[in-house]
Amino acid sequence: MKKIKLPEPDFLSSLNKQQKQAVLSTEGPLLVLSGAGTGKTKVLTSRLANIIYNRKAKMSEIFCVTFTNKAAHEMKTRVEKMLSHPIEGMFIGTFHSIGLRFLRRNSELVGLKNDFTILDKDDQLRLVKQVISLENLDPKVYVPKNFLYMIDQIKNAGLETEEINNHKFEIETKGKFKQIYKSYQSRLSNYNSVDFGDLILLPIKLFKENKEILEFYQKKFKYTLVDEYQDTNSAQYMMLRLLTEVNRNLCCVGDEDQSIYGWRGAELKNILNFERDFDNSNIIRLEQNYRSTGNILRTASSIISENKERIGKKLWTSGKDGDPVLIRNFEDDDFEAIFIAQKIKEFEKSGIPLTNVAILTRASFQFKDIEDRFLKENIKYRVVGGLRFYERAEIKDAMAYLRILINKSDNLSLERILNTPKRGLGKALIKNLYSIVQKQNVSLYESLKLITLSEIPNSSQKKNIQNFISIIDRHTSNLKSIQHFEVAGSLLDDVGYTEMLQKEKTPESEGRLENLKKLITDLRNRNSLEEFIEEVSLLNETLNDNDFSERVSLMTLHSAKGLEFDFVFLPGWEEGIFPNQRNIDEYGNKGLEEERRLAYVGITRAKKELNISYVNYRKQYNYSIYRSIPSRFLSELPEQSCKVFQVIENLNKKNMKLEQFSNPDFEVGEKVQHKEFGSGIILGISEKKLQIRFENSNEVIKVFSDFVSKL
CA–CA separation, 72 and 98 (whole Å): 11
Residue 172 annotated as catalytic: no
20, 40, 362, 368: the catalytic one is 40
26, 41, 185, 476: the catalytic one is 41
Query: What 3-state DSSP class applies to 325?
Result: strand
Scanning 544-692, the segments in alpha helix (DSSP H) are 557-560, 581-587, 589-603
Residue 605 annotated as catalytic: yes
**Shortest CA distance to 375 belongs to which of 556, 543, 529?**
543
CA–CA separation, 284 and 458 (whole Å): 69
What's the half-sphere exposure (Cβ side, CA atoms, 13 Å) at 536?
23
- Using the 8-state DSSP alphabet, how is residue 458 labeled? -
Reported residue count of the chain is 711
45, 124, 224, 258: the catalytic one is 258
Query: What 3-state DSSP class applies to 217?
Result: helix
Q: Which amino acid is at 299?
A: T
Residue 313 annotated as catalytic: no
47, 517, 597, 605: the catalytic one is 605
**Shortest CA distance to 680 belongs to which of 661, 663, 699?**
699
**Shortest CA distance to 355 belongs to which of 543, 541, 548?**
548
B/e letters for 220-230, b = 16+ CB within 10 Å, e = fewer, are bbbbbbbbbbb
- CB atoms under 10 Å from CB of 634, counted, come to 19
CA–CA separation, 711 and 705 (whole Å): 14
Instruction: Say which residues have a Cβ less than 8 Å from residue 455's Cβ, sequence separation at least 6.
Output: none
Residue 334 annotated as catalytic: no
- Using the 8-state DSSP alphabet, how is residue 8 labeled? P
**Shortest CA distance to 568 belongs to which of 612, 614, 615?**
612
152, 195, 198, 227: the catalytic one is 227
Q: Which amino acid is at 128?
A: V
Residue 551 annotated as catalytic: no
CA–CA separation, 158 and 203 (whole Å): 11
Residue 41 annotated as catalytic: yes
Q: Which amino acid is at 251?
A: C
How far are the Cα atoms of 10, 63, 599 from residue 53, in angstroms, in the given order? Answer: 11, 16, 40
On whether the CB atoms of residues 358 and 553 are closer than 8 A, the answer is: yes
By annotation, the residues acting in catalysis are 40-41, 227-228, 258, 605
